């Protein structure tokens, strides 16, 4: 009996030990990404460099620090972090680092083949070693002349799985097509040439003398119209040293029509230009053969509205083909125009900028559906946007041009009918900008000709952040009859967007010497970005810091500087996808603009005069651990809060 009991206990112990030691699948792909073919096996002695992303020691630290420097009622408001301190926010625990390093050593990896960069361990090993450590088999995948070593699944030991976020390159297939010149087709401009090259008169609407014709502004929007309606200064104050507003372009989209734009619509700015920057091999090609609608729209309105603040055009290179396809964005073998933006490279570039070269405002007029982005990738990029926010940077993003979505169907194999939130609007660390149109009054933007409207909704991945909890809860309570009909299509507990809005219709833009009428939230984001850049300039004059991550201030105080939009609605789910396939039709789908914050326009549109008072007012002193010092430029007086 005793022997039997001992054997039973021994078997249980062996079983428990087996479970403890068994590898756990960390990441996997259901299928090989489109355009890639598995060809053969790699040489087991081939050297491969891997990056192991470690889980942060304190998953709440980023939120704690970010909200501390961004909440106007917090004693650390405006005391932004240095580059090194911001990067350290997601560092792992010593235990995590040592456990993973011990696993590497036990697997035969020499110590000098491991480089420790805090959040990441960079490791050099052979394919054979990697296969043994990750319980997988690597293959050579081919596309045209390219060959890469990847796997569709890998595992790590049970004892360390909770320490590791990702190991790459394994299941991720990032491809950089330097020859590609395609423009984003999912949040693209709505454009039509209705001018035939005719030069407009130099009246008030076009930057000349005389009053502004607001009726004309409804269909032909110019910088002068925007300045008049949003009560922006007509005379540009001199910018403080260090002021910088960055406008982002992806996929090698150019921006070259600025001189002609100023001649037509802002003659007082003739000769003003912008500076170029590049990340991941990005280019700003100055050729009429290159499509540049997006880049021109963004830079032309950013510079004309933010002058004299320096404006930088940041070209981010690379084409990322590793996305989750759906009915609106298929993967088609050989079609290299179908890709998502190189988000991680953008975030890494900004996070690693020296303090004195860091912009205070970044505007991004690009995006995808949230379901296009792999979840771990989305979390990683979003966290980096949060780290950038701790350095005093405001990130404005376009909320999207397709309302609640077009195909309105999940891409997880279940084909669930649902609204489709947009990325990166769903990230709680950015400020998404929706769209409006007309004036007297403004209303939620809805383009019936092109079936487009401002994006808005709830994230399926990110939960609702604390800063917007009361506002969104009040919205849901007061407007139950309006949203409850869509309850099966949304995650009402997710991060809600947009936060604010601006004009998204009628923008006059110059492309290759021709005048076009353009639209979309692509135009709205740089408009709000320009206003924030001007507000920063006003703060710098008073020795204050940049506004930084806007949302805690916006939801607590800043919303009083926006005009509430109570007319119009958004649209979506028409019954056909962007690719032309049948998809779920939801009659009358969309969000109504209502009193207060809503899913159509957020808090509404900016009034510079009101925002200036709110942004420059003196705050009630709070007890703090350190003294509050003047900061004429972001990065000149950063503190270490760790």
pTM score, whole prediction? 0.83
More confident residue, 217 or 324: 217
The parent domain of residue 150 ranges over 22-57+92-173
More confident residue, 627 or 450: 450
Say if residue 261 is in the same domain as residue 380. Answer: yes
Closest CA to 344 of 374, 371, 324: 374
Say if residue 468 is in the same domain as residue 579. Answer: yes
- Was 108 annotated as part of a binding site? no
Cα(first)–Cα(last) distance of the chain, in Å? Answer: 59
Question: Of 122, 154, 173, which residue is a domain's last?
Answer: 173
Calculate the CA 172 to chain-centre distance: 20
Predicted local distance difference test score (pLDDT) of residue 17: 38
Predicted local distance difference test score (pLDDT) of residue 277: 76
More confident residue, 147 or 81: 81
Extended beta strands in 275-349, E state: 275-279, 310-316
192 in a domain, yes or no? no
CATH assignment of the domain containing 310: 3.40.50.200
Q: What is the pLDDT confidence band of residue 334, given thresholds at 50, 70 and 90?
A: very low
- Residue pair 142/168 in contact by the 8 Å Cβ criterion: no
**pLDDT tens-digit readout, 259-268:** 888 889 988 8
How far lies 605's CA from each of 305, 433, 625, in Å?
A: 15, 9, 37
**pLDDT tens-digit readout, 66-125:** 999 999 999 999 999 999 999 999 999 999 999 999 999 999 999 999 999 888 899 999
Report the alpha-carbon distance of residue 372 to residue 330 in Å, rounded.
10
Report the alpha-carbon distance of residue 536 to residue 304 in Å, rounded.
17
Say if residue 426 is in the same domain as residue 530. Answer: yes
For residue 516, the cross-strand partners are 509
Q: Which region among 119-133, 256-270, 533-547 has the lowest average model confidence (pLDDT)?
A: 256-270
Question: Of 122, 149, 173, which residue is a domain's last?
Answer: 173
Report the alpha-carbon distance of residue 499 to residue 430 in Å, rounded.
9
Pairing, β 23-28 against β 139-143 = unpaired
User: Averaged over 535-560, what is the pLDDT?
Assistant: 97
538 in a domain, yes or no? yes
User: Averaged over 511-531, what is the pLDDT?
Assistant: 92
Say if residue 348 is in the same domain as residue 490. Answer: yes
Report the alpha-carbon distance of residue 243 to residue 245 in Å, rounded.
7
Predicted local distance difference test score (pLDDT) of residue 286: 45
Report the alpha-carbon distance of residue 520 to residue 447 in Å, rounded.
9
Task: Please classify residue 68 by burial: count the beta carbons closer than 10 Å to its beta carbon, then call 0-12 exposed, 13-18 middle and 19+ buried.
Answer: middle
Say if residue 351 is in the same domain as residue 227. Answer: yes
Q: In the predicted model, is pLDDT for residue 199 greater than 80?
A: no
Question: Would you give the DSSP letter of residue 203?
Answer: S
5 in a domain, yes or no? no
564 in a domain, yes or no? yes
Say if residue 114 is in the same domain as residue 227. Answer: no
280 in a domain, yes or no? yes
Sheet hosting strand 37-40, strand order edge to edge: 37-40, 139-143, 146-150
Extended beta strands in 68-201, E state: 114-116, 120-126, 139-143, 146-150, 153-157, 164-168
Say if residue 356 is in the same domain as residue 419. Answer: yes
- Residue pair 602/528 in contact by the 8 Å Cβ criterion: no
Say if residue 262 is in the same domain as residue 115. Answer: no
Say if residue 275 is in the same domain as residue 368. Answer: yes
Report the alpha-carbon distance of residue 427 to residue 386 in Å, rounded.
9
Q: In the predicted model, is pLDDT for residue 535 greater than 90?
A: yes
Question: Of 173, 199, 232, which residue is a domain's last?
Answer: 173
**pLDDT tens-digit readout, 433-450:** 999 999 999 999 999 988
Report the alpha-carbon distance of residue 586 to residue 417 in Å, rounded.
9
User: Averaged over 470-479, what is the pLDDT?
Assistant: 98
Report the alpha-carbon distance of residue 189 to residue 523 in Å, rounded.
9
Predicted local distance difference test score (pLDDT) of residue 629: 30
Number of domains in the chain: 2
- Residue pair 528/611 in contact by the 8 Å Cβ criterion: no
**Cβ-based neighbour number of residue 228 at 10 Å:** 19
Say if residue 235 is in the same domain as residue 311. Answer: yes
**pLDDT tens-digit readout, 494-516:** 999 999 999 999 999 988 788 88
- Residue pair 488/364 in contact by the 8 Å Cβ criterion: no
- Residue pair 351/86 in contact by the 8 Å Cβ criterion: yes
Say if residue 167 is in the same domain as residue 279. Answer: no
- Was 35 annotated as part of a binding site? no
**pLDDT tens-digit readout, 204-251:** 999 888 899 999 999 999 999 999 999 998 877 778 888 999 999 875
More confident residue, 586 or 642: 586
Pairing, β 23-28 against β 275-279 = unpaired
Report the percent of the chain where pLDDT is more than 90: 60
**For all residues of the chain together, what is the average pLDDT?**
84
Report the percent of the chain where pLDDT is more than 70: 81
User: Averaged over 187-202, what is the pLDDT?
Assistant: 47
184 in a domain, yes or no? no
- Was 565 annotated as part of a binding site? yes
325 in a domain, yes or no? yes
**pLDDT tens-digit readout, 283-320:** 544 444 444 567 788 889 999 999 889 999 898 865 44
User: Averaged over 606-630, what is the pLDDT?
Assistant: 72
Say if residue 300 is in the same domain as residue 425. Answer: yes
What HEC string does 521-577 produce? HHHHHHHHHHHHHHHHHHHHHCCCCCCCCCHHHHHHCHHHHEECCCCCECCCCEEEC
181 in a domain, yes or no? no
Q: In the predicted model, is pLDDT for residue 384 greater than 90?
A: yes
More confident residue, 518 or 258: 518
More confident residue, 629 or 165: 165
Q: In the predicted model, is pLDDT for residue 144 greater than 70?
A: yes
């Amino acid at each position: 009996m005793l022997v039997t009991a001992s054997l039973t206990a021994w078997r249980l112990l062996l079983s428990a030990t087996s479970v403890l030691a068994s590898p756990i699948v960390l990441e996997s792909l259901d299928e090989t990404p489109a355009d890639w073919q598995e060809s053969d096996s790699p040489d087991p002695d081939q050297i491969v460099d891997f990056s192991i992303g470690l889980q942060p020691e304190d998953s709440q630290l980023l939120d704690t620090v970010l909200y501390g420097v961004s909440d106007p009622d917090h004693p650390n408001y405006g005391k932004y972090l240095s580059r090194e301190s911001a990067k350290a926010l997601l560092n792992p625990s010593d235990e995590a680092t040592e456990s993973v390093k011990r696993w590497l050593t036990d697997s035969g990896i020499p110590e000098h083949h491991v480089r420790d960069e805090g959040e990441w361990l960079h490791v050099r090993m052979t394919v054979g070693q990697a296969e043994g450590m990750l319980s997988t088999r690597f293959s050579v995948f081919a596309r045209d002349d390219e060959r890469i070593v990847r796997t569709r699944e890998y595992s790590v030991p049970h004892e360390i799985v909770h320490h590791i976020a990702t190991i790459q390159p394994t299941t991720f297939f990032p491809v950089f097509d330097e020859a590609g010149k395609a423009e984003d087709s999912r949040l693209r401009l709505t454009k039509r040439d209705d001018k035939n090259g005719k030069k407009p008169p130099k009246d008030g609407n076009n930057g000349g003398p005389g009053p502004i014709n607001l009726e004309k502004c409804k269909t032909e929007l110019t910088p002068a119209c925007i300045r008049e309606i949003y009560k922006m200064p007509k005379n540009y104050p001199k910018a403080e040293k260090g002021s910088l507003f960055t406008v982002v372009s992806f996929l090698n989209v150019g921006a070259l029509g600025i001189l002609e734009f100023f001649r037509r619509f802002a003659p007082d700015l003739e000769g003003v230009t912008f500076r170029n920057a590049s990340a991941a091999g990005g280019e700003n090609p100055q050729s009429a053969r290159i499509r540049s609608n997006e880049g021109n729209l963004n830079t032309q309105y950013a510079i004309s509205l933010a002058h004299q603040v320096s404006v930088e055009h940041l070209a981010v290179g690379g084409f990322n083909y590793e996305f989750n396809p759906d009915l609106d964005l298929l993967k088609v073998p050989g079609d290299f125009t179908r890709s998502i933006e190189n988000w991680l490279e953008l975030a890494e570039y900004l996070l690693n900028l020296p303090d004195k070269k860091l912009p205070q405002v970044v505007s991004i007029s690009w995006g995808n559906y949230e379901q296009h982005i792999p979840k771990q990738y989305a979390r990683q990029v979003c966290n980096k946007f949060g780290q950038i926010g701790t350095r005093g940077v405001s990130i404005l993003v376009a909320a999207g041009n397709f309302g609640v979505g077009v195909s309105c169907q999940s891409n997880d194999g279940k084909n669930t009918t649902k609204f489709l939130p947009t990325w990166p609007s769903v990230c709680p660390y950015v400020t998404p900008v929706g769209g409006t149109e007309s004036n007297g009054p403004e209303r939620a933007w809805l383009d019936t000709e092109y079936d487009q409207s401002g994006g808005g909704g709830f994230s399926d991945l990110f939960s609702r952040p604390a800063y917007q909890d009361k506002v969104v809860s009040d919205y849901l309570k007061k407007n139950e009859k309006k949203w409850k009909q869509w309850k099966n299509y949304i995650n009402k507990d997710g991060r809600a967007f947009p936060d604010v809005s601006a004009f998204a219709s009628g923008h006059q833009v110059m492309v290759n010497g021709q005048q076009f009428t353009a639209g979309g939230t692509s135009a709205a984001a740089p408009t709000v970005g320009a206003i924030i850049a001007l507000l920063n300039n006003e703060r710098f004059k008073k020795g204050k810091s940049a506004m930084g991550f806007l949302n805690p201030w916006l939801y607590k105080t800043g919303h009083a500087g926006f005009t509430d939009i109570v007319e119009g609605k958004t649209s979506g789910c028409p019954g056909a996808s962007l690719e032309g396939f049948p998809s779920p039709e939801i009659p009358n789908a969309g969000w109504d603009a209502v009193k207060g914050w809503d899913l159509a326009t957020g808090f509404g549109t900016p009034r510079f005069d009101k925002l200036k008072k709110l942004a420059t007012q003196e705050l009630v002193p709070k007890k703090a651990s350190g003294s509050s010092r003047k900061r004429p430029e972001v990065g000149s007086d950063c503190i270490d809060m760790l």
